[in-house]
Amino acid sequence: MAGYLYKKNYMELIKKYFDKLQVQSKHDWDFFRSKLECVHYPARTIILKKGQVEQYLSFIEKGIVRFYIPQEDRELTFSFAFANNFVSAYDSFLSAMPCLYQVETLTASTLWRISATGLQEVYEQTNAGNSIGRKAAEALFLKKSQREMSLLYDNAETRYLRLLAEQPHLIQQIPLKYLASYIGITPQALSRIRKRIS
C-alpha cells in the first residue's frame, strides 16, 4: 500500500511538471502515464554502455547521472544530469545508432522512462504528446548548447562556480576527479580553485 501511495504521489508531481510544459487532458495524461516505467538503480550502475543504442527518454526523480567517454588511460566526463531533469543519450535515441559514450548513475537513482516505441504512440494518440516531446528535446538541446558555450567562453573557475550555483547540495556527492574532468582541468587544479573560493 505504501508503495502504491508513493507511486501515486510522485506521478502527481510528474504531471505538475509536464503540465508546465503542456497542459494535458485526463485522457492524454492517462495514456502517457501508462507508457512510463519506474526503474531504480544502485549507485555506480552503467545504464547505457558505449556501443548500445539508447532506447529510452527518462525523467530523473532522484539521483545524479554522469555521461562520459571511456578511454584506456582515463574517463572523460562531459555532462551530469540531476533530479527533475530529462536524461537520455539523445543523439543515439533519435538516430537509433550506437552510442559513442556511456551513461551511469553516480548515486542511487530513480528514473521514470518511456521507450522510443511508447513515445511514438504518445505522439500519435494524444494531442499534447508532440508538444511535450518537442519541449523535452529543447531542454536537452539547450543543456548541450550551454555546455558548449561554457567550454568556449568560460574559464575553469567560472564553469565550476556555475555548476556549484546550479546544484550546491549535490556537488559534494560527485567525486573530485569527475568534476575536474567535466570542467576540463586536473583534480589538483580544481582543489586549488576550491581552496581559493572557500
Give me the chain's average pLDDT, please: 87
Pairwise CA distance, residues 104 & 79, whole Å? 11
Q: Indicate if the pLDDT at residue 195 is higher than 70.
A: yes
Residue ranges of the domains in the chain? 2-153, 155-198
pLDDT (tens digit, 9 = 90+) per residue, 136-145?
Answer: 788 888 888 8
Per DSSP (E only), the strands in 90-175 are 102-105, 109-115
DSSP string, 11-68: HHHHHHHHHHH----HHHHHHHHHT-EEEEE-TT-EEE-TTSPP-EEEEEEE--EEEE
The residue-averaged pLDDT of 175-191 equals 91
Residue 143 is predicted with a pLDDT of: 82
Indicate the CATH number of 2-153 among 3.40.30.10, 1.10.3720.10, 3.40.50.450, 2.60.120.10: 2.60.120.10
Residue 117 is predicted with a pLDDT of: 94
21, 51, 101, 127 from 78: Cα distances, Å: 27, 17, 10, 35
pLDDT (tens digit, 9 = 90+) per residue, 69-87?
Answer: 998 888 999 999 998 888 9
Q: Indicate if the pLDDT at residue 1 is higher than 70.
A: no
The residue-averaged pLDDT of 36-59 equals 96
Counting Cα atoms < 13 Å in the Cβ hemisphere of 137 gives 11
The residue-averaged pLDDT of 82-105 equals 93
Best mean pLDDT range from 18-22, 59-63, 169-173: 59-63
Residue 58 is predicted with a pLDDT of: 92
